[in-house]
């Protein structure tokens, strides 16, 4: 009996290899996607988080290398020039981008990758890697609640909060470019919804790269007539 086959006659699990997927979470700022992302990462060992580079100033409580890689504009431009970013965009006057190398490495290992990026980034990933992409858009239950959450963060100035509120309508107009929409009334319920989406997408036939071998092994176990 192989170590992968604890039950005699059952094809080894290793035959069920799967291609990793790219899970994009986007929302207007303050709709709660960061909490959902954090919950998901804590609950699922197969998923890794893409850590973006940004030219934005570090907020209190943010950790360099964990929340973002905080870099200056010349370094950002050099990364763009060298083709080191999978996508990049200007959001609220700051530059953001996704480093390509870690994503390539994780996908090669069959890991799934989570992206907290805006609609511009989702569009660029759609152009480059549409087969691997699963896009989820998170909406707030109301604009009053969105404003309450933005103020609750107590990290941004009044002008920034107002700017983000006025941008929210623009951002929401991109809902149609996403595969799944979630209204985030409760972080736990929304996290469960994303987990359900992720579990279903993992079982998509096109991602089950080991399925031909698995079926061949099953057929090999048919009793001889």
Residues forming the site for ligand 5GP (CB under 6 A): 29, 52, 56, 87, 89, 91, 96-98, 116-118, 120-121
Q: With respect to ligand 5GP, which residue has the nearer C-beta, 112 or 115?
A: 115
**Which is closer to ligand 5GP, CB of 5 or CB of 35?**
35
21/89 with CB nearer ligand 5GP = 89
Q: What is the DSSP code string of 155-213?
A: -S-HHHHHHHHHHHHHHHTTGGG-SEEEE-SSHHHHHHHHHHHHHHHHT-GGG-TTHHH
Nearest approach in angstroms of CB 53 to ligand 5GP is 7
Nearest CA to 115 among 33, 1, 185? 33
DSSP category for residue 59: P
Nearer to ligand 5GP, 45 or 65 (CB): 65
Q: How far is CA 205 from CA 151, 201, 202, 211, in A?
A: 44, 9, 9, 8
Q: How far apart are CA 222 and CA 225, in angstroms?
A: 9
Least separation in angstroms between residue 160's CB and ligand 5GP is 9
Nearest residue to ligand 5GP, by Cβ distance, number only: 121
Phi, psi of 59 (to 5 degrees): -90, 155
Question: Among residues 97 and 210, whose Cβ is nearest to ligand 5GP?
Answer: 97
Which element (helix H / strand E) includes 24?
A: strand 22-26
Nearer to ligand 5GP, 124 or 193 (CB): 124
Q: How far is the CB of 116 from ligand 5GP (least distance, A)?
A: 5
Radius of gyration of the chain (CA): 20
Could you tell me the smallest distance in angstroms from the CB atom of residue 36 to ligand 5GP? 12
> Rounded to an integer, what distance in angstroms lies between the CA atom of residue 48 and that of residue 51?
9
Please report how close the Cβ of residue 212 comes to ligand 5GP at its closest, in angstroms: 36
Cβ at position 211, least distance to ligand 5GP in Å: 33
**Distance between CA atoms of residues 74 and 79, nearest Å:** 9
């Amino acid at each position: 009996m192989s170590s992968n086959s604890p039950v005699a006659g059952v094809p080894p699990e290793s035959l069920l290899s799967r291609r990793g997927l790219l899970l994009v979470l986007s929302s207007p700022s303050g709709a709660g996607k960061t909490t959902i992302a954090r919950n998901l990462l804590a609950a699922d060992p197969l998923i890794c988080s893409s850590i973006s580079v940004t030219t934005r100033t570090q907020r209190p409580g943010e950790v360099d290398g964990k929340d973002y890689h905080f870099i200056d504009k010349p370094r950002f431009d050099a990364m763009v020039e060298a083709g080191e970013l999978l996508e990049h965009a200007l959001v609220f006057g700051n530059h953001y981008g996704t480093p390509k190398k870690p994503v390539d490495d994780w996908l090669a290992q069959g890991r799934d990758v989570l992206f907290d990026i805006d609609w511009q980034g989702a569009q660029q990933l759609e152009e480059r890697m549409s087969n691997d992409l699963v896009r989820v858009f998170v909406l707030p239950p109301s604009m009053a609640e969105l404003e309450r959450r933005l103020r609750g963060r107590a990290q941004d100035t009044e002008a920034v909060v107002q700017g983000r509120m006025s941008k929210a309508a623009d951002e929401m107009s991109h809902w149609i470019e996403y595969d799944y929409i979630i209204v985030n009334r409760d972080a736990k319920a929304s996290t469960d919804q994303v987990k359900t989406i992720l579990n279903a997408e993992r079982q998509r036939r096109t991602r089950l790269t080991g399925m031909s071998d698995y079926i061949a092994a099953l057929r090999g176990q048919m009793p001889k007539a």
